[in-house]
Amino acid sequence: MAPAQKSEYRGYVHQMQKTLMVNWYERLGESALKGWPPAVCLMVSGNCIELLQAFDVLPIYPEVNALQLAIRHQSLEPIVAAEEIGYASDNCAYVKADIGAYLKGITPTGNKMPTAALILCNFVGCNTYLKWFEHVSAFTGAPMYVLDVPFLRYDKPTADDITYVVKQLKELVGLLEGITHTKFDYDRFKQAVQYSAEVESLWSEIKHLSKHSPSPFDAYFDAITLMGPLYVYRASSVGVDFFRAALQELKERVANGQGVYDEERFRIVVEGPPPYPHFKTFRDMFAKWRACTVASTYSTVGGLWEFGFRHDPENPFESVALHMIENNVTNRNYLQRYAQIERYADEWKADGVIIHFVKSCRLFSAGQGDMRDYFTKVLKRPTLYIESDLEDPRYFSEAQIRNRMDAFFESLEHQKTMANVAGE
Amino acid sequence: MNPDNGIDLAGILGQAATMAQDVTFQSVRGWKAQHENAKAIGYFPVYTPVELIHAAGALPVGLNGAGDQLDIQHADARFGSFICSIVKTTMELALTGHLEPLDGMLFHSICDSARNLCFVYKRHFAENLYVDFLHLPHNPSSVASQEFLVSEYRRLKKNLENLTNRTVTDQDIRLAIKVYNENRRALSDLYRYRQEEPHMLPTAELYVLQRAGNFMPVEEHTQWLKAVRQALPNRPMKRRDSIRVVVEGSFCEQPPIGFIKILEGAGCYVVDDDFLLGKRWFTEDVPIGDDPIHDLAESYVQRSVYSSVRHDWRKPRFLGLVEKVKAGKADAVVFCLAKFCEPAFFDYVLFKRELEKEGIPHLLIEFEEKMFTFDRARTEIETFVESLLFE
Ligand code: SF4
Ligand code: SF4
């Protein structure tokens, strides 16, 4: 076998996203110091950043903070601090890291974090969100609003689902007016929705680029890099500029035949969040086999756009509602997730599926054994199932995961060889 | 037969104990045999609007896992590590044909594991089983919540009408509300009685009596509850040295009956609990007005008990727990939490914090429905009780 590959490329896009995220943390730091602009805590999944943008309110994403801590190898201390006050070893470690960091005054960048003017729990699928934000509210004393989004129990939302969410969004407008002492400007909201629509088209185009072989980027590991700006800047011109540049850079790579590796050996679909505390180690396990992820469910947590959905400036409230109900992976039902993966595997021409079971996250993981059964037995697709955690560094058994990954790729290689022999 | 009042208390409790643990659902089969073409609709905990099922002429069947009555052979592989047992036993019950008497199965927005289970059910069983998911709203401060829940209940009603092939009238629903109000009232009477005279009604008995109601027509169950209530004061029971405790955290997966007995045997009078919480869901009767679906929805949004699976930040749950402790004149709280129950373990943190603020002692015991040795739990509870009794 060829020697292991360096696992990542570092293009302009990566640099630019870093700058954008640093700017965001700096603005949060400023808000903490001056008490202005107000900041609102919300969840990444099906977020309604458009409405916040219309009021110039800064988003705080506790999930992004938690993952930043993990990727910087700083998550263990806050997790342990949270366990000391009673959190269970198997409670979602994102929550533990976030609460523990609050208790210990740790922030991902060392900058101060503002106290949220509002804890906005956009309940989009994950029941842990409700607990998490209840706890943040209880510990910080900040007021809370739960924007209850009906779970997508059928293929499509009902008219009542949409009405329900729209009415709550309008209540939220009232709350934001109170926080900012500003009257709601409908045109600014429409403009924010318009920016989102543009970003979504660009992002969707990027996601379809990984249909090329070789794929110009890794749709799991690199997609994660692009996800920060997608949530923080989606509804602004900054977001549009960033994704335009990203698309251009990646298109150039396609035109030049540049893939993630000098030779793309395998095309993989990944299901489940990554093990952030061991992000690089995990990525290297793919790189060793020149295995490129061409699609991932995790990159659709904030929104699922590659199948066509866009925000609509002509119907801004309804489209924000539709995004929250129907167009993000967390609020879609489990069988829709099967269908999503299946579609990726077919249309993005994948060789196999890797299911990453994350101990913290029942939303993703409960039932993944059944999912594996479906993909291996019903669809007859090569499927690997591995377990670790997205935030807790203690739950990652490197040797075992590596062995399983190696065995999986070896068998894929074997199948490829056999197929080639048969085809000759 | 008790010669005093003609009520066969031991007989009722014995039957209830058998029914409560019967994973072959003989009573449901028996009911169906007597009611031609009638349907039985199962529901996963914690709460479901049983009135709508009843109004459709169907028998609501509350599932609470399989306790220690079933060996899990298939469901483990589908649900894997870190998932509570009830999700697995509920899957196993269906995979092994135990749910054959059921025609439908309802799930609700209580937690991520149960939610995914609903859709795994759909994949495997939807051909022969009506499987549905009810979104019970989490934003009670919004008037839109009530309207939404009305629409959700109307949707359910329509699906039940299709399944049972009959039209459900408002009057049917009003009647159903009436019989369930009676049932909840009869249960509350027993809870109140136990709170006053805990030595007269051991919790293990109250528990099976309550749980048997999951598998029988509500009207008959209410008769049982009333009969038991009437017979209780005549029992020769002795007081023991015990502390008064509130049990919290067993709202979904249920501890084994053996565990409940240990709790009492080790010196706890349970003066309130959240076992089978859905059966005592409302703080008041559901009103019976012109629009009964609205009455049900409004009751859910405005007058539900606090629960780890219902979110209402107008009043944090931890305040509800403290009130419960005070109302029951309890000495302590025993948290009985199902292993891997995410909602219960999250709530534990804020409950604990508040109890400590209030100076209320508490103990955490983790259980699994299928556990069968209780030595460790017994020792922990005994030590806790002693520390309070002799402090
Ligand atoms: S349970 Fe999963 S989706 Fe929910 S907060 Fe935790 S990691 Fe995120
Ligand atoms: S026991 Fe807890 S985690 Fe399990 S299904 Fe019930 S509520 Fe969900």
DSSP string, A191-228: HHHHHHHHHHHHHHHHHHHTTSSS-SS-TTHHHHHHHH
Nearest CA in chain A to B317: A134
Q: How many CB atoms are located within 10 Å of the residue B167 CB?
A: 9
How far does residue A363's CA lie from ligand 1's centre (Å)?
A: 7
Structure tokens at B27: 């009573």
- What pLDDT is stored for residue B337 in this prediction? 98
The closest of A68, A123, A127 to A101, measured between CA atoms, is A68
Q: Residue length, chain B?
A: 391
Q: How far apart are CA B299 and CA A71, in angstroms?
A: 46
Could you identify the atom of ligand 1 that is nearest to the CA of residue A301?
3
Q: How far apart are CA A146 and CA B20, in angstroms?
A: 37
- ipTM score for this prediction: 0.96
Q: How far apart are CA A84 and CA A64, in angstroms?
A: 23
- The region that residue A110 occupies, defined by phi over 0 for left and psi between -120 and 50 for alpha, beta otherwise, is left
Upstream peptide bond of A214 is cis (omega within 30 degrees of 0): yes
Does residue A18 fall inside a structural domain? yes
pLDDT tier at A423 (50, 70, 90 boundaries)? Answer: confident
Q: Taking the mean position of all CA atoms in its chain, how far away is CA B347?
A: 18
Q: Is B386 an interface residue toward A (CB < 8 Å)? A: no
Q: Taking the mean position of all CA atoms in its chain, how far away is CA B178?
A: 20
- The region that residue A380 occupies, defined by phi over 0 for left and psi between -120 and 50 for alpha, beta otherwise, is left
- What pLDDT is stored for residue A111 in this prediction? 87
The DSSP code sequence of B179-242 is HHHHHHHHHHHHHHHHHH-GGGS-HHHHHHHHHHGGGS-HHHHHHHHHHHHHHGGGS-----S-
From atom 2 of ligand 2, which residue's Cα is the shortest distance away?
A: B341
Position B269, amino acid:
Y
Q: Taking the mean position of all CA atoms in its chain, how far away is CA A83?
A: 25
How distant, in Å, are the alpha carbons of A263, B177, B391 from that of B55?
A: 65, 9, 54
Q: How many CB atoms are located within 10 Å of the residue A95 CB?
A: 27
- What pLDDT is stored for residue A9 in this prediction? 56
Point out the residue among B80, B142, B348 whose CB comes nearest to the CB of A168. Answer: B142
Ligand nearest to the Cα of B309, by number:
2
Taking the CA atoms of residue B151, residue B156, residue B158 and residue B162 in that order, the dihedral angle to the nearest 10 degrees is 170
Nearest CA in chain B to A361: B112
Query: What is the rounded average pLDDT for all residues in chain A?
Result: 95
Cβ atoms of B250 and B263 within 8 Å: the answer is no
Q: How many CA atoms lie within 13 A of B146 on its CB side?
A: 15
Point out the residue among A90, A144, A168 whose CB comes nearest to the CB of B340. Answer: A90
From atom 1 of ligand 1, which residue's Cα is the shortest distance away?
A: A361
Boundaries of domain holding A103: 12-423
How far does residue B341's CA lie from ligand 2's centre (Å)?
A: 5
- What pLDDT is stored for residue B227 in this prediction? 97
A64, A65, A67, A94: residue to mutate for ligand 1 pocket, most atoms within 8 A of CB: A94
Structure tokens at A264: 């793309």
Structure tokens at A315: 């119907």
Ligand nearest to the Cα of B114, by number:
2
Q: Does the pLDDT value for residue A22 go beyond 90? A: yes
DSSP state of A57: P
The alpha carbon dihedral of A223, A228, A234, A238 has a sign of negative
Does residue A4 fall inside a structural domain? no
Q: Is A359 within 8 Å of B155 when comparing Cβ atoms?
A: no
Position B85, amino acid:
S
> Which residues pair with residue A118 across a beta bridge?
A40
How far does residue A94's CA lie from ligand 1's centre (Å)?
A: 7
- What pLDDT is stored for residue B3 in this prediction? 45
- The region that residue A56 occupies, defined by phi over 0 for left and psi between -120 and 50 for alpha, beta otherwise, is left
Upstream peptide bond of A37 is cis (omega within 30 degrees of 0): yes
Point out the residue among B87, B133, B148 whose CB comes nearest to the CB of A160. Answer: B148
Q: Which residues of A touch B349 (CB under 8 A)?
A: 85-87, 135
Point out the residue among B76, B83, B132 whose CB comes nearest to the CB of A362. Answer: B83
Q: Which residues of B touch A370 (CB under 8 A)?
A: 78-79, 120, 123
Point out the residue among B119, B151, B348 whose CB comes nearest to the CB of A333. Answer: B119
Upstream peptide bond of B46 is cis (omega within 30 degrees of 0): yes
From atom 3 of ligand 1, which residue's Cα is the shortest distance away?
A: A126
Q: Which residues of B touch A361 (CB under 8 A)?
A: 112
Ligand nearest to the Cα of A390, by number:
1
Structure tokens at B184: 């909840």
Q: Taking the mean position of all CA atoms in its chain, how far away is CA A189?
A: 24
- What pLDDT is stored for residue B1 in this prediction? 45
pLDDT > 70 fraction of chain A, expressed in percent and rounded: 97
Count of structural domains within chain A = 1
The closest of B272, B224, B217 to B248, measured between CA atoms, is B272
- What pLDDT is stored for residue B34 in this prediction? 97
How far does residue B166's CA lie from ligand 1's centre (Å)?
A: 42
Integer distance in angstroms from the first to the last C-alpha of chain A? Answer: 22
The closest of B18, B102, B67, B111 to A131, measured between CA atoms, is B111
Q: How far apart are CA B145 and CA B149, in angstroms?
A: 6
Q: How far apart are CA A8 and CA A120, in angstroms?
A: 36
Residues of chain B with pLDDT under 70: 1-5
Please list, in sequence order, all residues whose beta carbon lies within 8 angstroms of the beta carbon of residue B23, skipping any fewer than 6 positions away.
Answer: B66, B67, B69, B70, B93, B98
Q: How many CB atoms are located within 10 Å of the residue A55 CB?
A: 23
Domain spans in chain B, listed from the N-terminal domain onward:
23-168
Structure tokens at A312: 């609509």
Q: Does the pLDDT value for residue A183 go beyond 80? A: yes
B23-168 belongs to which CATH class? alpha beta
| Cβ of A70 below 6 Å from ligand 1 | no
The closest of A390, A332, A296 to A124, measured between CA atoms, is A332
Q: Is B112 within 8 Å of A148 when comparing Cβ atoms?
A: no
| Cβ of A360 below 6 Å from ligand 1 | yes
- What pLDDT is stored for residue B2 in this prediction? 47
pLDDT tier at A6 (50, 70, 90 boundaries)? Answer: low
Q: How far apart are CA B40 and CA B54, in angstroms?
A: 10
Distance from CA of A369 to the nearest CA of B (A): 4
From atom 3 of ligand 2, which residue's Cα is the shortest distance away?
A: B341
| Cβ of A126 below 6 Å from ligand 1 | yes
Q: Is B142 within 8 Å of A171 when comparing Cβ atoms?
A: yes
Q: Is B116 within 8 Å of A367 when comparing Cβ atoms?
A: yes
Q: Is A138 within 8 Å of B110 when comparing Cβ atoms?
A: no
Question: What are the b/e assignments for A116-140, b being 16+ CB within 10 Å?
Answer: bbbbbbbbbbbbbbbbbbbbbbbee
Q: Is B80 an interface residue toward A (CB < 8 Å)? A: yes
Q: Taking the mean position of all CA atoms in its chain, how far away is CA B51?
A: 15
Point out the residue among B115, B118, B138 whose CB comes nearest to the CB of A130. Answer: B138
pLDDT digits (tens, 9 = 90+) for A58-75: 999 999 999 999 999 999
Q: How far apart are CA B324 and CA B343, in angstroms?
A: 19
Position B232, amino acid:
L
Find the helix or strand (DSSP H, E) in which B305 lies: none
Question: What are the b/e assignments for B331-357, b being 16+ CB within 10 Å?
Answer: bbbbbbbbbbbbbbbbbbbbbbbbbee
Could you identify the atom of ligand 2 that is nearest to the CA of residue B309?
7
Burial of A223 (C-beta count, 10 Å sphere; 0-12/13-18/19+):
buried
Q: How far apart are CA B221 and CA B186, in angstroms?
A: 9
Distance from CA of B231 to the nearest CA of A (A): 43
Q: Which residues of A touch B353 (CB under 8 A)?
A: 85-86, 138
Pocket of ligand 2 (CB under 6 A): B 84, 86-87, 110-111, 113-114, 252-253, 309, 338, 341-344
Q: Is B112 within 8 Å of A366 when comparing Cβ atoms?
A: yes
Ligand nearest to the Cα of B346, by number:
2
Q: How many CB atoms are located within 10 Å of the residue B241 CB?
A: 9
Structure tokens at A149: 């989004």
Q: Is A128 within 8 Å of B112 when comparing Cβ atoms?
A: yes
Could you identify the atom of ligand 1 that is nearest to the CA of residue B112?
1
Q: Residue length, chain A?
A: 424
Q: How many CB atoms are located within 10 Å of the residue A358 CB?
A: 26
Q: Taking the mean position of all CA atoms in its chain, how far away is CA A318?
A: 23
pLDDT digits (tens, 9 = 90+) for A191-202: 999 999 999 999
Mean pLDDT, residues A82-111: 95
DSSP state of A295: E
How far does residue A326's CA lie from ligand 1's centre (Å)?
A: 18
Q: Does the pLDDT value for residue A116 go beyond 80? A: yes
Q: Is B372 an interface residue toward A (CB < 8 Å)? A: no
Cβ atoms of B160 and B168 within 8 Å: the answer is yes
